[in-house]
Amino acid sequence: MRHAVYGFSVVALALVMTGCPGTARLSVKGGGAGFLFALKRPGTSAARAMETALRRRLDAAGLRGCRVTAEGDDRIRVLVPGVAKNKVESLQALLARPSLLAFSLVDEDNAFFENLASRLPGDGSVQLAIETNPGVPNGPPLKTCYLTATSRAKLTTFLSGLTPPPGRRIGILCGEWGLLAYLVEDPPTMAGPRIQEARVVEADKGGIAVEIRLAAEQSEAFARLTRKNLHRRLAILVDGEIRSAPVIQAVIESGRAMIGASPMAPVGLAEREARSLAASLTAWSLAGDLTLIERRLTPPLSR
């Protein structure tokens, strides 16, 4: 039985090889670093999932102009411009490390965000929003405050001056339709959940959804979490960034859950966003599956 949750984001070898076939494909125009990784468990969907995950990881690190390409079903090529020689090892570690997955409840104490109202930028680039969801039967509705922003840079700048309350941190949900910032529990409510499968399916009421299947040994813990927190938002974090924040609509005892399209996402983006979420969760399940085959550092052009 599938339960709905509505809502909708390695050990590598340090080798430097020159003069080898295909090395030119790792050259970076103007200087930078090129990497070729092998996927231990080949498959077209696995390669595409890892491609998406690495691209998001580079974006989150503020690295621009990068190219991440899945080649066949067992290779990933990454080109990063402007990397200094002394930064190559840390960049390789960033690309090769396992993704970190966590479930974290969205905080319902709205005083933190409400107290920010007078500090919001005057240009409207960061704004306070309030969402109301039905609570338990005969109980009061649940109110959740969060921030919206017009750009990540402006949101990050504003958040840099804030100190969240103890046991909480600010998580960013970056969708093609906008940017949101929630206050979430820290450490996570459920750290390192094992997702055995994440796939895009047709939702029970039409549209697109992502179905996830947890490992059998974690079903009981997930059932307890959903039973205690009905109608609350549960943030799904990959590498520390919120990829989805669905509302828990039912107790999920089977370990299978459906994450439906966010009501904030335009219809045209719902499927693309669902596939991106499924790819992120699939890539997490491939943790430890990347091995470096080749690395090349292209020196910057001399002037």
Name the pLDDT band for 285 (thresholds 50, 70, 90).
low
d(CA 93, CA 12): 8
Based on the domain organization, do 77 and 188 belong to the same domain?
no
Is 224 among the domain residues? Answer: yes
Tell me if 3 is assigned to some domain: no
Q: Residue 23 — pLDDT band, cuts 50, 70, 90?
A: low
**Of 21-35, 159-173, 186-200, where does mean pLDDT reach its minimum?**
21-35
Which residue, chain included where needed, has tokens 């979430």?
184
Pair 166, 262 in one domain = yes
Mean pLDDT of 72-98: 91
Mean pLDDT of 192-213: 85
Least confident of 31-40, 53-62, 175-184, 243-252: 53-62
The pLDDT tens digits of the residues spanning 103-115 come to: 999 998 889 999 9
Same domain flag for 121 and 261? yes
Q: Does 281 lie in the same domain as 150? A: yes
Dihedral sign computed on CA atoms, order 281, 287, 293, 294: positive
Answer with the residue of higher pLDDT: 259 or 261. Answer: 259
- CA-CA distance, 294 to 282, in Å (whole number)? 24
- Pair (110, 193) in one structural domain: yes
**Mean pLDDT of the region 153-163:** 92
> What share of the chain has pLDDT > 90, as a percent?
47
Residues 232, 121: one domain? yes
pLDDT for residue 279: 76
Average pLDDT of 62-66? 90
Largest CA distance in the chain: 73
Q: Is residue 2 part of a domain?
A: no
> Does residue 278 sit in the same domain as residue 131?
yes
How much is the average pLDDT of 148-176? 91
Q: How many domains are contained in the chain?
A: 2
Residue 278 domain-assigned (yes or no) = yes
Q: Are residues 41 and 158 in the same domain?
A: no
Q: Is residue 112 in some structural domain?
A: yes
CATH code for the domain in which residue 64 is found: 3.30.70.3400
Same domain flag for 255 and 222: yes
Same domain? 90 vs 118: no
pLDDT exceeds cutoff 80 at 259: yes
In tens, the pLDDT along 137-148 reads 777 888 899 999
Per the structure, the complete domain to which residue 212 belongs is given by 102-285
- Judgement on whether residues 129 and 23 belong to the same structural domain of the protein: no
Question: What is the DSSP code string of 145-159?
Answer: EEEEES-HHHHHHHH
Q: Are residues 36 and 109 in the same domain?
A: no
pLDDT tens readout for residues 223-243: 999 999 998 999 999 878 898
